[in-house]
Amino acid sequence: MSATFIDTPLGKFRVQFTALGLARLQFPKAKAEPITGSIEPPKNWLRQTTAALKTILVGKAPTILPPLDLSTGTTFQQQTWRALLRIPAGRTCGYGELARTVRRPKAARAIGGACGANPIPVIIPCHRIIGASGSLTGFSGGMHWKVKLLEIERVKLPLH
């Protein structure tokens, strides 16, 4: 099990890579969740991940992302995670709206499940997904992280 830590002003994030790219990002103080096949990352992947994470944590959009290994997800989850990457910083999107984006208009609950299974939160911005009424809903990193990330992106809270 090979894990690396990225030190940020908000704490040390744990990252793991496979031969395909960044496969897991965990919040500071989260219980370690090892992955199979983790490797010591190439220096350029670690640099890209560090730069992307630190850029996001100051409220900006990164210009380059490291290669992402989304292979742990189902086809639907991977499709959802790729759609999340297209939501601009500072914007939010409802579960139903994202379901329509991935051409599964009745799959709002499944979108929620895919967000909860996101192995690379922050970089794949599931924190930008909100309830239909504009309410903040669950977040795998905890609601305090969701609120913090939205505040960093200057999203006006409360949304409802």
R_g (Cα) of the chain, nearest Å: 15
Q: Give all strands of the β-sheet with 11-18 in edge-to-edge order.
A: 4-8, 11-18, 21-26
Report CA-CA distances (Å) from 27 to 13, 47, 98.
5, 18, 24
Catalytic residue among 6, 70, 126, 129: 126
Closest CA to 95 of 136, 153, 148: 136
Is 126 known to be catalytic? yes
What distance in Å separates the CA atoms of residue 137 and residue 116, rounded to the nearest whole number? Answer: 11
CA 55 to chain centre: 14
Enzyme catalytic residues? 126
